[in-house]
Amino acid sequence: MGKEFFDIPAEDQQNSLTSFATELLKDYGIHGAKVSCINFEFNATFAVESESGVKYALRININSTRTVDNMKAEVEWVRYLSRTSGLHTPTPIATLDDQYIVSSLHADSGQTLYGVMYSWLDGEEIGDEPTMEQLHQVGRAMATLHEESSEFALSSGNSLPTFSDFFWGTEDFLFSDKSVLSDADRVSIQQAHDQIMKYTNELYQNSPVHIIHADMHGWNLMWNEGQLSIFDFDDCGYGVEAQDLAVTLYYLDTPEQDEALLNGYKSVRPLPTYSANAMKALLLQRRLLLLNYLFETKNQEHKEMLPAYLEKSLERVSTFLTDVRG
């Protein structure tokens, strides 16, 4: 089937990947498990329940550009955090051969796909309507994560991208020959890009750089009886702390929510130093990175979001340029 795999209905893709996931579980010595797809967006994530009732989460990188070395680094960092930080995170699960990354040829797509399995987290995602208490805890957790990461170094051979570039190590679909933007739209976004990079470069010159989560929004945060858990470390990389804050702030709607998050952070350690315009730049960059993703994704549901998302993005670009130019 090859490339045509991504053109078939999403349900058929999920069924194929569910069968593939079931085969991968044999590497862990798991047979006869209940396997169900619980997320099919940037990656495919499966709930796994073994015959003995133990639950896991298996992630297969179907749309991800992550390398094996990136995935190994992710696992190494999460194992470190689970041992040292006091943060509640899932635990990476090793195969029978003591490997944390599994792979196999997925015949229907014609690709070798890679997966990683974690222990299961109980609870509910805090989603897009977090309480002030939850946001305070998110801020505290992020501050703790930054404290611990500042002392951590990856093993030789494991690697992660550094987020000092505009596209955070992903392929350029906005300005390259692959861009389908109109000339006028490209000029506007290029102007925003130049301003964003000015502020980013200043932050990298004056801020510590270490591993950050880089995707700590409400759908990657679990709440269970008052306990916050952080998961989905697939986007982690080397960045400045303000970038981590910007990702979370991007998904909040009110000044009160922003304040709860920042107060939580400050209850553990001082906020990183950044100007108001620098934060505006990072917030817009988050949106433009998602726009770039929509141009390249194979996910049909996400592709349909592109026209409206582009229109709103251009409005925000115009507002940003007016703000930073005074």
Query: What is the C-alpha to C-alpha distance for residues 218 and 323, in angstroms, rounded to an integer?
Result: 28
Q: Hey, what are 55's tokens?
A: 């639950």
Mean per-residue pLDDT for 107-116? 95
pLDDT score of 1:
62
Whole-model pTM: value is 0.94
Confidence of residue 242 (pLDDT cuts 50, 70, 90): very high
Mean per-residue pLDDT for 255-261? 98
Quick check: 3 pLDDT over 80?
no
Domains 2-120 and 132-325 share a fold: no
Output 65 or 27, whichever has higher pLDDT.
27
Q: What ranges do the domains of the chain cover?
A: 2-120, 132-325
Encode pLDDT of 266-314 as tens digits. 999 999 999 999 999 999 999 999 999 999 887 888 889 999 999 999 9
DSSP state of 207: S
Contacts of 264 (CB under 8 A, 6+ apart): 135, 136, 137, 138, 139, 140, 141, 142, 143
Mean per-residue pLDDT for 179-203? 96
**CATH code for the structural domain at 132-325:** 3.90.1200.10
Query: What is the C-alpha to C-alpha distance for residues 308 and 324, in angstroms, rounded to an integer?
Result: 25
- Arithmetic mean of pLDDT over the chain: 95
pLDDT score of 139:
98
Quick check: 2 pLDDT over 80?
no
Confidence of residue 169 (pLDDT cuts 50, 70, 90): confident
Q: Helices (DSSP H) in the chain: which residue ranges?
A: 10-24, 68-84, 132-149, 183-206, 241-250, 255-266, 276-296, 300-303, 306-325
**CATH code for the structural domain at 2-120:** 3.30.200.20
pLDDT score of 301:
85
DSSP H or E run through 121: none
